[in-house]
Chain A
């Protein structure tokens, strides 16, 4: 067995460990409501965290993998929420269908937005997407169908015909999060994910390798919007109420971006940390809103200064270093690493 095979085998092993860790995390999350002393409001609060994580996943797919920026994903949250809410109110559809419809509608509008903003980047993209969030806000405030600030009251959620309470809803949310996580995992490891990253790193070179910029940019926008749309649908049903008071608020959009940056984008775990952070800060500092602001600002700046790739990346560093050592040791046993090290030195010398 040569070095290549050993390295490949080790990598497969590491990847398996990663997968096991994520699966264990989800199992723990699913078992949470069955722990003694857990009350309904805790499950609702936990659902909220799940929703934020999912919304942050949508943002991080766009920001981290495609290199686009969005300050408008609150708009997609609203689209998902209202799509599902209206369908539930007028047609009494099942929660499962509501989530799918919310995701699809959001993805469709995301596709359109991706097409309109095809040529934008950076600061221009930020203001364009922010404008989109405002636009959605203006619509739900002013179009009678959406019932503005009065809001729409929803019946208790039913999943596959069965009425569910706070705990049931939490489990549904975790299951949905598992699906979106799986989706992101599949996408970023596929040829499509490679195309996203190629466009992010060197647009021209990607195009000359046959990556169709228009197609992949709009695809990234659609997937990202769809994921945040599902989060929006959940967000409406967690309190069985939607109103423009909540969804016309552009600060959601900003919060999702912060969640993406704090957690880090280019890692599966990033949105988990970022989403949880954004929910937990105001929750624990409810009486001290000003300190919540200060804390949020300080954490944000500290992350940017100390761990520009996000907290998830910071936490992963020791593990990565360990893996690198083991990979190097595997190569060393075949006397190959010396040559590689020499090359690395030449590279630094340049």
Chain B
């Protein structure tokens, strides 16, 4: 078993509030790993730490065993990590195709050559276009390539975000609440897509999710955090039986 993305004793403080307190987790390569926890448990903060948007005062993040504490967000994509956002951050005034192509930005090669459409850049652009269309087909977006993203229904936008992440040819994708706000049909569709991305493309997936059915059916391994600290981890069945986890969620008046 190889570690793909790991964090060690990560601590984040906002003013006096401790958002993450010595959190440890390890995402194994090729697996679907979930992160759950009650509201305000520090999930999104931890997620932003891993994608290097959030500075932290103590602890380390490792990518394939190497420390990435000093990397910036746009460096992470070059290492092979892509992410999506809880509240969709798409380029609304642009088409689906343009959005997917932005995801492929790290593959455009020398920007100056690209800007002047030198022969090699032309070749690259064609490849990127074709791949963008393939990805769109895989996520059932092929009929909306020309549509402005802001005109797409919510569930479609979620998929465009995933498509954009896929376009960068990542080894690992971080999904921030991929089914939040989706109806049941959209949720089921996304579940299937996540499984397919993992299985067919061999991409490691790390996801934060509120929807228990999604986490329990899709994930291979689950981490639970509460009040910014590790609470439990294990396979879906183990986590479901863990009394601490049940307690934490009951405290929040949770109905599964």
Residues of A within 8 A of B (CB): 3-4, 7, 11, 186-187, 190-195, 197-198, 201-202, 204-213, 215-216, 219, 327, 331, 336, 339-340, 343-344, 346-347, 350
Contacts and interface: CB of A to CB of B under 8 A. Distances in A.
A186 to B, nearest CB: 5
Contacts of A215: 111
B103 A209 contact: yes
Nearest to B181: A350
Interface in B147-175: 147, 151-154, 156, 164, 168
B45 to A, nearest CB: 15
Given A202-B89, A340-B143, A347 B102 contact: no
A111 to B, nearest CB: 13
Contacts, number: 111
Interface of B: 51, 53, 72-74, 76-78, 82-83, 85, 89-94, 98, 101-103, 105-106, 108, 111, 114-117, 121, 125, 128, 133, 142-147, 151-154, 156, 164, 168
Nearest to A205: B89
A62 to B, nearest CB: 15
Given A4-B142, A211-B105, A340-B144, A194 B153 contact: no
A334 to B, nearest CB: 10
A215 B72 CA distance: 14
Which of B51, B91, B121, B164 has the most chain A CB atoms closer than 10 A to its own CB?
B91
B162 to A, nearest CB: 13
Contacts of A210: 74, 77-78, 105-106, 168
- Which of A205, A207, A343: most chain B Cβ within 10 A? A205
A209 B82 CA distance: 7
A350 B102 contact: no
A198 B102 contact: yes
Contacts of A350: 153-154
B93 A201 contact: yes
Contacts of B151: 344, 347
B85 A7 contact: no
A350 B150 CA distance: 11
A7 B101 CA distance: 18
